[in-house]
Amino acid sequence: MWSIGELAERAGVTVKTVRFYSDRGLLPEGTRSSGGHRRYGPEALDRLHLIRSLRTLDLPVPDVGRVLDEEDTLEDVVAAQLRQIGSRLAALRWQEAALQLLQDCAPEERAERLRLIGAVPVPPSTAALARFWRRWLPPRLPARLVSAIVEHAVPQLPEGPTPAQVLAFTRLHAFVSAPCPGTGRGQPAAHGPDGGRPAVLYDGLAEAYALASPQLRAERPPHEGEALDCFVSAYARSRGTRDTPAFRRRLRALLAADPRIDHYWKLTAEISGPSEPTPGATHDWLCAALDNQIALSAG
């Protein structure tokens, strides 16, 4: 049996460290000497080495205790620690880009940028964007359809944002958090409650966007084809009518007259980068394809 000093010497730590772990129950003493001094067996040295290894990874003392007592597996504790570190790193990368944004801007721009940055939680969250879409979408859409739309409409934040991406996200966050003017939901009339069956429409639009996205990635100009036919068919089926040349002309006039959230999609594109087209860019491409087809048929 070793004294506390002997155990500390063999482990290469201070007596204070051994006493700290003993007092917290991580390092049970083997027995006490006749004078009441702590004594430790050889197994304490192995346990102390394990404690030090876990603490080197910055695991909190309570987590170390649960691993030692086999209340939690090491894998679970390590996974939780990795999630915490990932969150802290995301916050640091965001703060670094935000500081760079402030450093590089003109003095007269700093007050506005500070206000925008200060309104966004750290690490940044896209929850406000998801709430915006859940309010904007027609009521009584199936939950699985709402989830799919929100997933595609809300941009993924980059792991290492640039100052420009930080600025775009803060502006987007301010845009979706601001009160909507007027009493309406801000939806295009073709998507609103008078537009027929919205679940049929949004299901069809998702399919049309999936068909058109490769065309945008390939930088092909808007043209007729399967994607455009699917796009028009979604509107026609949702309204219980047929896809005819006359319907296409009426549809294009309706879409052209509707308000669009172009500002949202512009900022989203700045965050996501040019590699993946946004649903807004895909919608614009399909509308342009419809325009071209109508113009050709009229000529």
- pLDDT (tens digit, 9 = 90+) per residue, 52-86? 999 888 888 888 988 888 878 888 888 988 998 98
Q: What is the pLDDT of residue 129?
A: 96
- Torsion, CA 280, CA 286, CA 292, CA 294, rounded to 10: -120
Question: Residue for token digits 């760079």?
Answer: 100
pTM metric for this prediction: 0.76
Q: What is the pLDDT of residue 254?
A: 83
Cα separation values, 141 from 153, 192, 278, 282, Å: 16, 12, 21, 22
Statement: residue 91 has pLDDT above 80: yes
Task: For residues 271 and 219, give the distance between their C-alpha atoms in angstroms, rounded to a whole number.
Answer: 20
Closest C-alpha among 209, 202, 255 to residue 228? 209
Q: What is the pLDDT of residue 183?
A: 46
Structure-token pair, residue 36? 């009441």
On average, the pLDDT of the chain sits at: 88
- pLDDT (tens digit, 9 = 90+) per residue, 148-179? 999 999 999 998 999 999 999 999 999 999 88
Q: Which of the four pLDDT bands, split at 50, 70 and 90, describes residue 259?
A: low
Give me the amino acid identity at 208: A
Cα separation values, 237 from 204, 241, 243, Å: 9, 6, 8
- pLDDT (tens digit, 9 = 90+) per residue, 116-150? 999 999 889 999 999 999 988 888 889 999 999 99
- Torsion, CA 232, CA 298, CA 291, CA 212, rounded to 10: 50
- pLDDT (tens digit, 9 = 90+) per residue, 201-230? 999 999 999 999 999 999 999 999 999 999
